[in-house]
Amino acid sequence: DRLGVRVPAILVSPWVGEGVADHTVYDHSSLPATIKKMFGLPSFLTARDAAAATFEHNFLPQARQVALTNLSARVTATSAVPGAAETDYSQHQRSLLALAEVMAAPAPAGQAVAGVDTHARDFLDQPQSP
């Protein structure tokens, strides 16, 4: 493939339109190019980022109003994982488990995000590089 390895990016912010999917081809140089353009910096770092596609058009002129619910749950990255010693997982892995626990908690309407905890545990059980 002439474009190299695909590296998906997800923009999550009240400054990004809800449900927006941008299919423009970007590369790693798009990030510094976008920062340069958005903040009016005097010059690009390299010719590569000067030629890179930028994604500032995905940002709204004003932040959306987002209703945040169920923010009372507090989970630390060292939460106990049933059946596993805490030393079995790295700090990053424990953070992912904590995120999964929060996401799997019952939503205000009484519905939970099904399968997130299972997915996280399956991911964490994969062999890790040193």
pLDDT at 33: 93
User: For residue 7, what are the contacts with CB-CB under 8 A and spacing of at least 6?
Assistant: 27, 28
Mean pLDDT per 10-residue segment, the chain (130 residues): 69 87 87 91 91 92 79 58 64 78 61 55 62
CA distance linking residue 122 with residue 7, whole number of Å: 22
pTM of the predicted model as reported, rounded to 2 decimal places: 0.48
